[in-house]
Structure 1
Amino acid sequence: MQLAQNKKIYFASDQHFGAPTPELSFPREQKFVAWLDEIKVDAEAVFLLGDLFDFWFEYKTVVPKGFVRVLGKLAEIRDSGIPIYFFVGNHDLWMSDYFEKELNIPVYHDNKEFTFNGKTFLIGHGDGKGPADKGYKRMKKVFTNPISKTLFRWLHPDIGVKLAQYLSVKNKLISGAEDVKFLGEENEWLVLYSKRKLETKHYNYFVFGHRHLPMKLAVGKNSEYVNLGDWIGYFTYGVFDGKTFELKKLED
């Protein structure tokens, strides 16, 4: 992709809409919709890197209710001709083809490479990558197993969705009971993952979410690791103008 003059690519992750309750989530949804309205003026493309929803499951004929303003704004932007790319996170990993059929937004279930203005990017949500998190990696295999999805689909949505939402909001990141702190480059597993990838191929930027902590670190020669933060406490997002990548914070 070659950016047109004065156009930018925007990145955002970890909105967790619906948590801890729909009522408390609503102001964050309003901020996000307003941000989408603002960036559509100069957006060449928009990348959403997962956990847009705190829980999402697609039955054959049913999706979780709510999020009308967010989905409507995404549809409006996509219908205007601006590409939107969605990467599933660990909270919305059961996303199937709803976004693709209803919104014409491609959905990716793993990292994907892109090149913008000659700069190479490796983009993804970031869950299950790197040397740590072995318990989650095992759990993810269970969650994404077709048999597990079929068994869950047999639950009535009123039961299945409510159960999943209850378990999801137990996440301390959403409840505010856990303060996310920088662990140092030697312990940040997405940093280690990025450095390992550089051993076989060069990327100018590794862009991930999941960590809920905005950071931008050099991981090699002309190579940076970027974590987009979240839309719970930080309200941060990424912008690439064709030359450089910046982390920005939503203005109050």
Structure 2
Amino acid sequence: MITINTSDNKKVYFASDQHLGAPTAAESFPREKKFVAWLDSIKENAEAVFLLGDLFDFWFEYKTVVPKGFVRVLGKLAALKDAGIPIYFFVGNHDLWMNDYFEKELNITVYHTPQEFLINNKKMLIGHGDGLGPEDKGYKRMKKVFTFPFFKWLFRWLHPDIGVKLGQYMSVKNKLISGDEDAKFLGEENEWLVQYCKRKLASNHYDYFVFGHRHLPLEIKLQEDSTYINLGDWIQYFTYGVFNENELHLKKY
């Protein structure tokens, strides 16, 4: 478990689901600029920054090639990290093919599964949120295929001009990857991430569960001393989480 203690007047920030590149590079460019402006606005008082996945709508790392674009957000993340601000990145279902580019080029830690953090003595379980709980079975099957080493090896043999274009098309169009259901609140009893959190609480206490993936800004009390937070997105809501001293809440940029 990683421990973070904030200094005076410092805060911990959380954001997810920017989906840069979707539906086209031109249409996502204003959102990239807005997200970069937000990163710039928090640099003076950020103790740490958590990015909870789907920063890109499609991402695949060849051995010597990454998708074209996103230089502004990558440059800003590099500047924050160079300024001494820890950044923790969790891969989502759209950037699950991320390997070591962020770690080597930006010195940013990358996680592929949810992780426990202790922030000012508040225990948190943090991750993207895809594939958790008993539901989402279609996606779980798809993820096993997409992350199977042999299929990744086959895809890598496609020329990047073909592979990236194909991946971007599938990411935007395929409902299994970009499902519309993420935009609708299903009711607390039908929200599978809520049910996942409640099951985790049966064996281990967490003050906060922090996830993305659902594209909805949600703050749901699970118990008197435990809260599930979904960060929303940077497509429609432009919401983020901020932990200030001992409480975590959502805000809108």
TM-score (norm 1): 0.96
Please say if 1:74 is aligned against 2:81. Answer: no
Q: Secondary structure of 2:85's match?
A: coil
Tell me the distance in 1 between the aligned counterparts of 2:11 and 2:62.
35
1:16 to 1, 14, 19: 19
Show CA shifts across 1:73-118 (max 9, x none): 0000000000000000000000000000000000000000000110
Tell me the distance in 1 between the aligned counterparts of 2:167 and 2:249.
35
Please say if 1:167 is aligned against 2:170. Answer: yes
Q: Secondary structure of 2:113's match?
A: coil
Please say if 1:227 is aligned against 2:230. Answer: yes
Match of 1:93 in 2: 96
> Residues 95 and 137 (structure 1 numbering): CA distance in 2 closer, same or farther, change over 3 Å?
same
Give, as a single letter, the amino acid of the residue that structure 2 aligns with 1:35.
Answer: W
Please say if 1:36 is aligned against 2:39. Answer: yes
Show CA shifts across 1:183-228 (max 9, x none): 1111000000000000110000000000000000011230000000
Percent identity for Structure 1 against Structure 2? 75
Please say if 1:156 is aligned against 2:159. Answer: yes
Tell me the distance in 2 between the aligned counterparts of 1:129 and 1:6.
34
1:243 to 223, 241, 246: 246
Tell me the distance in 1 between the aligned counterparts of 2:80 and 2:172.
30
> Residues 171 and 6 (structure 1 numbering): CA distance in 2 closer, same or farther, change over 3 Å?
farther
Tell me the distance in 2 between the aligned counterparts of 1:182 and 1:208.
15
Instruction: Work out the number of aligned pairs and report it.
Output: 250
Tell me the distance in 2 between the aligned counterparts of 1:237 and 1:174.
23
Tell me the distance in 2 between the aligned counterparts of 1:168 and 1:42.
35
| Cα offset, 1:177, TM superposition | 6.8
Q: Is the 8 A contact 2:182 2:213 kept in 1?
A: no
| Cα offset, 1:172, TM superposition | 6.3
Tell me the distance in 1 between the aligned counterparts of 2:177 and 2:94.
12
> Residues 18 and 148 (structure 1 numbering): CA distance in 2 closer, same or farther, change over 3 Å?
same
TM-score (norm 2): 0.96
Can you give the 5+ residue segments of structure 1 that lack an aligned partner in the other structure?
none
RMSD: 1.6
Match of 1:217 in 2: 220
Tell me the distance in 2 between the aligned counterparts of 1:125 and 1:231.
15
